[in-house]
Structure 1
Amino acid sequence: MPGGRPIRLTETAHGGGCACKIPPDQLEEMVAGLIAPDLGSDVPELLVGLDHGDDAAAVRIQGDVAVILTSDFFTPVVDDPYDWGRIAATNALSDIYAMGGTPVVAINLLGWPRDVLPLDLAREVLRGGLDVTRSAGCHLAGGHSIDDPEPKYGLAVTGTGDPERLFRLEAARPGTPLTLTKPIGVGMLNNRHKQTGEVFGQAIEVMTTLNADAARAAAAAGAEAVTDVTGFGLLGHGYKMARASEVTLRIDPTAVPYVEGAREAAEAGFVSGGTRRNLDWVAPYTRVADSVGETDRLLLADAQTSGGLLVAGEVPGYPVIGEVVVREEAPMVVG
């Protein structure tokens, strides 16, 4: 208890959750040129790689089995270590579900300032991750830890899937609805939590809800293009899908569900730098109606942590927020 007050994990890091991602434009510049033009023909077993920025990599290991691999970790998004562990694990598993796979085994990734924060807190983080992987039916077996000035936690996850039924960013087809399986706006509430210490149970509930049921429902509905909505916001991840599939996504902002309190947090100015960078990134590729105000634009670009699935297709039980249409001048149209 430094200074006689409880430790706040969110004060130990410069950013929180998926909002601490490297900005998308810088990330794409960094990895540009790392894909050989003929890689697909040289390595036919690599089904999904770096080409379109899909949520995970997929490799065929035999005729009807693909191995799906991903890793995801971030700095504290909440102050409670157990909840942070649950959120980070849920978020890492989401990449497997977003590819249409089933998680099989995961390993911990932990960075910890061991001379600053008690190891008991780290144990609680790991316990949160363990409980989530157990609920997902996924083995958690060991991992790797380093001494780090800022705490970081997440998982490397291996799953399996049917090579012929993987979800891909490039598979969105005109004439299909757009479905969103979780409300957005948790980034606003997380930023408010970081600045004020207020706890928002509704945000934690969203971030610790596995995307397993939503992914199964999407597969049953025949969906082929799916992505999870995380650090690049709804607009950023939607743009990546539209670009890869060479279509336009039309989003009705009045149909998008928001977490309770998110709008009020946005209006009060609790907007992360990651959210503003997201909006700047997609602005040249997005046509927004004049009726869509600044608050709505920021909410649509809000950097989510452990968000839901954006599905090109109608998924029963989840809200339709727009549609996929033939490519127009702008890949994204809002309003």
Structure 2
Amino acid sequence: MLVALVLLGCSREASAPAGGGADGYEKLELRYEAGSGAVSFPELAEDLGFLAPIKLSFVGSSISGPHNIQSVVTGDTDFGGAFNGAVIKLFAARAPIKAVIGYYGVDKEAWSGFYVLDDSPIKGPRDLIGKKISVNTLGAHSEFILKEYLLRNGLSRDEVNQVTLVVLPPVNGELALRQKQVDVATLGGILRDKALERGGVHPLFTDYDLFGAFTAGSYVLTKRFIRDNPRTARKFVEAVSKAIDWAQTTPREEVVARFEQIVAKRGRHEDGYALKYWRSTGVAGKGGVIAQSEFQVWIDWLVRDGELKQGQVGLGDIYTNEFNPFWKGGP
């Protein structure tokens, strides 16, 4: 399936007309998917004026990170983002992509937990054998974190496979947990905070417990896009990096107010209520600079899990910081 997506993406990109734009940029419009009621860093970059004269073209709501980056491969969008483990898996399936900037992550303010009811018999990792856990999608952040937790605590591969992952929209996770349709719910951001306000639940563990602060996901471009649109690619990464840095260094209240203004004026008939619960970018590197360890840890994980062969994926092939002005201490 992934190989078919790769071939389709190559054909669509190859048929795109070549041309130049203002200031020598090869493309002046970038297609993308995004979440409802949220503001992505490319959207923030455009609003702050960092991306001009390039504009964004919203083509639809994002279902998940893996779907988001597959849309880049098929040529339906120009950029997309996902958990780094998902980026590695798609790259290993011969997708011609390259990660160019980190855009979300985990820190003491931005983290996700695996929640159980206060009266749940689940007290530790072995209690999860045979249980159901809600995740937003398969093959992404939550699945990797869960499996790492189980393996670190001595479960065998066979025992890990006895834990059932149930794909649910994140907004439905708390209700499914309270109605005991699942035994554990993955909750983060506003969904985590509202669940804790209502009480009766607590985290069994969190991604911050396991890894501390780290950038977890990256935006990707296709290698063809970078080759054919080098100035546009650099401008995109520079603009997004400046937007991330702005959010990293600006008081939280000002960032939230800017997000609310963006959602209000773009007219997508969406609810921006969750923006009030925004706490942090979660991005570890200044301006989204990618650290080698943020990909190496998941390459090693997939090798141990038997999904990759040793040496199958090289760090130099899968990501680059060359377009990021904050790399090597800049600007």
Q: TM-score scaled by structure 1?
A: 0.25
- Structure holding more helix per residue: 2
Q: Which has the higher contact order (CA 8 A, sep 6+)?
A: 2
Q: TM-score scaled by structure 2?
A: 0.25
